[in-house]
């Protein structure tokens, strides 16, 4: 017996579509949304003295998107 979440993943539901979009346009839309979020979070991180940590998270996330695009 599978749980509801397992069924969604196995059937290719919204969770799989969110994590692994079928088209390059889906990945591009996620990249644009992520860029906007990272830019919005830059100012509070700078004020809190966490700009270096924010930059590391931004670079790691960008690297994961590049890896996903190459794959």
Supply the angle between the helices 51-70 and 24-47 in degrees, to the nearest 10.
Answer: 170
pLDDT exceeds 70 at position 71 = no
* Confidence check: pLDDT of 64 > 90: no
pLDDT digits (tens, 9 = 90+) for 31-56: 888 889 989 988 998 899 999 999 99
pLDDT on residue 5: 61
Query: Which pLDDT value is given to residue 11?
Result: 65
Structure-token pair, residue 36: 């906007």
Model pLDDT, residue 12: 66
First to last CA, the chain: 32
Q: Write down the domain spans for the chain.
A: 23-70
8 Å CB contact between 25 and 17 = no
- Other CB atoms within 10 Å distance of the CB of residue 61: 15
Average pLDDT, the chain: 80
């Amino acid at each position: 017996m599978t749980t509801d979440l397992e069924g969604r993943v196995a059937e290719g539901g919204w969770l799989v579509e969110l994590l692994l979009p079928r088209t390059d346009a889906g990945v591009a839309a996620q990249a644009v949304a992520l860029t906007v979020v990272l830019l919005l979070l830059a100012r509070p991180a700078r004020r809190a003295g966490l700009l270096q940590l924010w930059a590391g998270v931004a670079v790691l996330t960008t690297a994961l998107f590049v890896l996903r695009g190459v794959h």
